[in-house]
Chains A and B, each alone.
Chain A
Amino acid sequence: MVNRMSPTDTEQKKTIQKEMTLNMGPHHPSTHGVLRLVLDLQGETVVGVDPRPGYLHRGIEKWMESRTYHQIIPITDRLEYISCMTNNVGWVVAVEKLGGITVPERAQFIRTITAELGRLSAHLIWLGSSVIDLGAMTPFFFVSKEREFVLDLLEMASGARQTVSYARIGGVRNDVPRDFIDKCREFTALFPKRIDDYETLIRNNRIFMQRTVGIGVMTAEEAINYGLTGATLRGSGVNYDLRKVDPYAAYDKVDFDVPLGKNGDVYDRYLCRMEEMRQSNRIIQQCLDMMQPGPVVCEDARYAVPEKMSVMNSMQSLAHQFVLMSKWVPMPKGEVYVATEGAKGELGFFIVSDGSGRPYRVKIRAPSYVNLSAIPKMVTGHMVSDVIACIGTIDIVLGECDR
């Protein structure tokens, strides 16, 4: 009989207990861009994680200091490039707060509709890509179809599918075309049924549940302490949604629920985001019903870009637009921090103005960046494969994280 505690065996045990450092990314299909994680492993168990963001750092905050307030709108498209409209709205709401600019009601509704469409497009991509990481290929193809519909709608309104640059200081660039409303209604009628269909594929799937239930648990106190926001926070049962807490655009006029999780694991965050999509659909439906004809940019000629049609037809408007876009528009001295509910969480802009037409300093509070900082807490003690599930659940976009 072989002695079980032979010297070779103990030596083997020693080698197993040795820690291994594994470099994951920046070019790894499940890291959603160029995220790099340095994992300390003991066998298959993760004992430490050091996220290394920054591979997509373009110095956007520095760049913004040399641009006028209007010129910054297209830059915000490049932050969270999956739901550009929510970023546009976040920026213009912040500038309007700084300048004390009021926005006409129709523009508020258009902003709400397009921002929710942006949120839907982001959540659909999240649904597809986070389950593809867990081994379910099919949903990605299905959600692409709905997302294509959303992008078509955004294209109808703004002329661009992804980088829309649709919001303007004091309103939106142009009114939506006439057939947009009908197309949008068609979409909102179809969408809830489709979401139900996708849920049958995923929600009670045994493999999916084994990969997500009890993984990456954050209690409510921990989640707040780590600064988590968005569905990542609400999955832990904290009722904090900036659309309710600090309403902007037309969110105070519509009725919607804030879905909350209980256990704060990957599965609960999945449930929250799925329900959020249904609520977004509800918001769009209500806005379509409540929207009345009217102007879509504010009357204040100091800030408002004239409507495109009048630029084409009137000399004054053309000159006005030229001056607004090429020369600066002074903003009052002061500083504001305005946060809106982006697709990933609290998207905040801290603007310091020195009274000129360019911001003195802009800080972007990127939800992906803050949510990523909780990854070590989430995955320590779990398996390597759970790291993938956790990256999917915080729904990270590196364009926003690295700025």
Chain B
Amino acid sequence: MDPLQIAKMIEEKFAGQVLATTSHAGQVGVLVRKETIRDICLYLRDEPSLKLDHLADLTAVDYSKYPGDTGPRFEVVYNMISTVHHHRIRVKARVPEEDPRIDSVSSIWQTANWHERETYDLMGVSFDGHPDLRRILLAEDWEGHPLRKEYPLKGY
């Protein structure tokens, strides 16, 4: 299915929850409200015509230094593909700096468990409802989150 059509289906199903749809190089990203991320993910996985059962990647981007960006600071990004229909979609949700939390999707895809731990570890975004949110790549007593833009590249 065409990714723009998937974006349209999300918009119809979750009226008022989709904030923007962006497209670049044939790939489509759907920016949604962070409150409904779990419901949208569950819908995308279970709807028979979509069946986006493979969460390829989950990460976060720190937009604090992005030229011309004024939205909330972090963006959590979900890249998914269907192993049946072979179509892709990217779902994104903005999370503010003061309260960097979003619902965990690890009950929908087991693979999200480690992706969310990594995102928490390196970017400092917390996932509500995650079974075991600990640091994973860095040491347990590490201070700070290295992928945030203010974190220095060297000399720390």
B25 touching A100, Cβ below 8 Å: yes
Stretch at the interface among A283-291, A302-310, A332-340, A389-397: A332-340
Indicate if A92 sits at the interface (CB-CB under 8 A). no
Stretch at the interface among A172-180, A274-282, A292-300, A349-357: A349-357
Stretch at the interface among B8-16, B36-44, B48-56: B48-56
Indicate if A342 sits at the interface (CB-CB under 8 A). no
Residues of B with C-beta under 8 A to A372:
114
Give A314-357 interface residues, CB cut-off 8 Å to B. 332-337, 339, 346, 348, 350, 352, 354-355
Nearest chain A CB to B63's CB is how many angstroms away? 9
B83 touching A227, Cβ below 8 Å: no
CA distance A294 to B68 in the complex (A): 43
Indicate if A257 sits at the interface (CB-CB under 8 A). no
* Contacts A54-B137, A334-B25; A339 near B146 (Cβ below 8 A): no
Indicate if A53 sits at the interface (CB-CB under 8 A). yes
B57 touching A360, Cβ below 8 Å: no
- Chain A interface residue count, CB cutoff 8 Å, equals 47
Give B83-141 interface residues, CB cut-off 8 Å to A. 83, 86, 88, 90, 109-111, 113-115, 118, 122, 136-139
Residues of A with C-beta under 8 A to B21:
none
Indicate if B4 sits at the interface (CB-CB under 8 A). no
Residues of B with C-beta under 8 A to A98:
24-25
Residue in A339, A377, A402 whose Cβ sees the most chain B Cβ within 10 Å: A339
Residues of B with C-beta under 8 A to A370:
111, 114-115
Cβ contact of B57, chosen from A62, A333, A354, A363, cutoff 8 A: A363
Nearest chain A CB to B26's CB is how many angstroms away? 8
* Contacts A226-B110, A350-B77; A402 near B137 (Cβ below 8 A): yes
Chain B interface bracket (under 10, 10 to 19, 20 to 34, 35 or more):
35 or more
B111 touching A54, Cβ below 8 Å: no
Interface SS, A side: mixed
Residues of B with C-beta under 8 A to A62:
146-147, 151, 153
Cβ contact of A227, chosen from B25, B55, B88, cutoff 8 A: B55
Give A359-375 interface residues, CB cut-off 8 Å to B. 360-361, 363, 365, 369-370, 372-374
Nearest chain B CB to A176's CB is how many angstroms away? 29
A337 touching B146, Cβ below 8 Å: no
Nearest chain B CB to A324's CB is how many angstroms away? 22
Cβ contact of A225, chosen from B24, B27, B109, B151, cutoff 8 A: B109
CA distance A334 to B37 in the complex (A): 22
Stretch at the interface among A13-21, A193-201, A238-246: A238-246
Residues of B with C-beta under 8 A to A369:
114, 118
Residue of A with least CB distance to B90: A337
B111 touching A336, Cβ below 8 Å: no
Residues of B with C-beta under 8 A to A63:
153
A373 touching B113, Cβ below 8 Å: yes
Residues of B with C-beta under 8 A to A336:
24-25, 27
Residue of B with least CB distance to A401: B137
CA distance A225 to B27 in the complex (A): 23
B146 touching A361, Cβ below 8 Å: no
Residue of B with least CB distance to A245: B86
* Contacts A53-B137, A54-B136, A336-B27; A346 near B56 (Cβ below 8 A): yes
CA distance A53 to B27 in the complex (A): 32
Residues of A with C-beta under 8 A to B122:
61
Indicate if B155 sits at the interface (CB-CB under 8 A). no
Nearest chain A CB to B113's CB is how many angstroms away? 6
* Contacts A63-B153, A361-B62; A348 near B111 (Cβ below 8 A): no
* Contacts A238-B83, A348-B57, A403-B137; A59 near B111 (Cβ below 8 A): no
A337 touching B27, Cβ below 8 Å: yes
Indicate if A66 sits at the interface (CB-CB under 8 A). yes
Nearest chain A CB to B65's CB is how many angstroms away? 8
Nearest chain B CB to A340's CB is how many angstroms away? 12
B153 touching A225, Cβ below 8 Å: no
Nearest chain A CB to B145's CB is how many angstroms away? 10
Residue of A with least CB distance to B117: A373
B136 touching A66, Cβ below 8 Å: no
A57 touching B147, Cβ below 8 Å: no
A66 touching B90, Cβ below 8 Å: no
Indicate if A183 sits at the interface (CB-CB under 8 A). no
Beyond contacts A238-B83, A360-B61: 7 other A-B pairs, Cβ-Cβ < 8 A, are: A61-B122, A224-B83, A225-B53, A337-B27, A365-B57, A374-B110, A402-B137
Chain A residues with CB under 8 Å of chain B are 52-54, 57, 59, 61-63, 65-66, 97-98, 100, 222, 224-227, 238, 240, 245-246, 332-337, 339, 346, 348, 350, 352, 354-355, 360-361, 363, 365, 369-370, 372-374, 377, 402-403
* A-B CB proximity, top 7 nearest: A227-B111, A334-B24, A54-B137, A373-B114, A363-B59, A365-B57, A337-B79
Contacts A/B (CB < 8 Å), 16 sampled? A61-B122, A62-B146, A62-B147, A63-B153, A66-B153, A98-B25, A224-B54, A226-B111, A227-B110, A335-B22, A336-B27, A350-B57, A352-B61, A354-B66, A354-B67, A402-B137
